[in-house]
Structure formats: structure tokens, C-alpha cells
Structure 1
């Protein structure tokens, strides 16, 4: 009876060492989860500065925006978008990519300002997309401009 009382009150009870390992593993999982959430929610400019994550962020950004261009072209081919809508969406996607990749707010810059700054390699494409969008007499090819936009995004450094 005294042994039963000791065990009931909190005396030594045998337990499996697996509980300790499970607790350690769960603690590590929680720490990794919080670290991942912290890194993923960092602003793009801070993320670009991190040596381990900057290159990964750049590759994922290029992949995401190039896929966006591809989806726009596919939507146009299926007839869901007119050529003008496709040009407009491609221009928006390229400008948004430039903002994410460089931090320059390309969405609000005129083509001449883009050509004069660090985004100058993108200026001819953005000008061609603008001309195709607003000039009905132009003989622009949406597939060709889409391929150029995708290539610009994939090759941006």
C-alpha cells in the first residue's frame, strides 16, 4: 500500500524514452516552422539581401512570373483574352516582376524613365507591349511578345 501511494503522489514511474525523442522532434519542428514563416513573410528587398535566400528568392520569382506570362498567352490562345488584354496583362506582369526583382517601382514609371535607369534592358519590350496595346495598326504578334517577355524574365539577373 505505501508503494501504491508513492506512485500515485508522483513517485518514480517508468516511461519510454520515445516520449523524450518525440518532444525534441516536435520542438525542432515548431522552431523550423516559425523560422520558415519569418523568412517567407520578409519583404522582397530584405529577402534579396540574405545570402542564403537571395538566390533562391530570385529563381522562384523568375519562375513564378515566367509562368504568369505563359498563362496569359495560353488564355489568349483559348480566346479568353483579346490581344489588347493580353498585351496589357503581359506589361503588368513584366513591370511587377521588375519591381519584385529590383525594388524599383516599375509599375509607376514611364517607358522613358525605365530606359534611362537600371531597368533599361526591359524598356524595348515594355514599349513594344504599350504600342501593341494602344495602336491597332501595329502588326505585333502576341506569341512573339510573350516569348520575349518570358525570356526577359528568365534571363534577368
Structure 2
């Protein structure tokens, strides 16, 4: 190749100034990265712990030695009291429906370990408690509607049926 000087290509070019040695990264950045990853892992663990379905843990922790017959007797006594107070006028229909629902839910929670007394109707419908769900849904119009749509005697019969259905 004409005009190209091979001799000058093998000589390294001269660098202006002085050459500095290589400098490594600070350990601070390594520990900052590890700390950030640890925070993300802790965040996901906390989210998992606090958003688990509580009905699964309550079912597992349910005390098998619970006396269902005693709880049933208490629930029946409470239903009898509600019915008596509603028929004598001491309790209005809306309050009677509310108390029947609470009594039935509390009994089911004690008998099964499912926290039915703290669940919405939508939560309750996702459980295996179909009879309880149906009866609670039938009580809702009496609790929430402007005018009661059922009579208290029918509601107490339904509540007794749910309570007596648990063994």
C-alpha cells in the first residue's frame, strides 16, 4: 500500500499528562444494593402475611373440644328471647333481624371456626356455609330495606334451622 508507513504504526502514541491507576468501586454501593434487595424481600413477606385469607388459619386453629351442644342451647335461648321481645313490642323488627343474624353468625363461628360473625355476605358466600349464607341473605332485607319484607316468626324459624343443622 502506497503512502502507509508501517514503522510509525508500531510505535505507541504518546499520551499527554500522567496515567492514573485504576480505582475500584466503593463497598458502599454493594451493601446498598444488597440492602435494597433485602427490603424488597421483606416487603413481599409482609404483604403475604397480612393479606392471607384469615378463614384458612381460623379453620386450622379451631378448638375441636368445643361443646357444640352447649353453644346450640345458648343460641336457641337467645333466639327465644329475641322472638319473645319482638312479639311483645320490646324490640322492633329491624333490631330483631339484626340480633337474629348476629346470634346465628356467632353460633356458626363457634361451631365451625369460620369467622362468620365478622364476614360480609359476599365473604360468607365464598365459604362452604351455604345454608347460613342463604338465611343471612334472607335477613338482609329486614335489616337494610326501608320496610321489612318478612315477618320475625319466619326469620326465627330459619335461624333455628341453621342452628340445629350443626352437629
The interval holding the TM-score normalised by the smaller chain is 0.5 to 0.7
In 1: Cα distance, 2:128 partner to 2:73 partner: 21
Q: Please state which structure has a larger fraction of its residues in helix.
A: 1
- 1:14 is matched with none
- 1:12 is matched with none
In 2: Cα distance, 1:137 partner to 1:84 partner: 9
User: Which segment is superposed worse, 128-137 or 139-148?
Assistant: 128-137
CA offsets 1:30-60 (integer angstroms, 9 cap, x no match): xxxxxxxxxxxxxx933xx24xxx5xx1111
How big is the shift at 1:136? 2.6
- 1:136 is matched with 146
Counterparts of residues 17-96 of structure 1 (less than 5 Å): 45-46=62-63, 49-50=64-65, 57-96=67-106
How big is the shift at 1:105? 1.0
The runs of 4+ residues in structure 1 deviating greater than 4 Å are none
In 1: Cα distance, 2:147 partner to 2:79 partner: 24
The number of residues matched between the two structures is: 107
Q: TM-score, normalised by structure 2?
A: 0.59
Segments of structure 2 that go 5 or more residues without pairing to the other structure are 1-60
How big is the shift at 1:138? 4.5
8 Å Cα contact 2:141-2:149 kept in structure 1? no
User: Which segment is superposed worse, 58-67 or 86-95?
Assistant: 58-67
Segments of structure 1 that go 5 or more residues without pairing to the other structure are 1-43
Q: CA RMSD in A?
A: 1.7
How big is the shift at 1:150? 0.9
8 Å Cα contact 1:62-1:153 kept in structure 2? yes
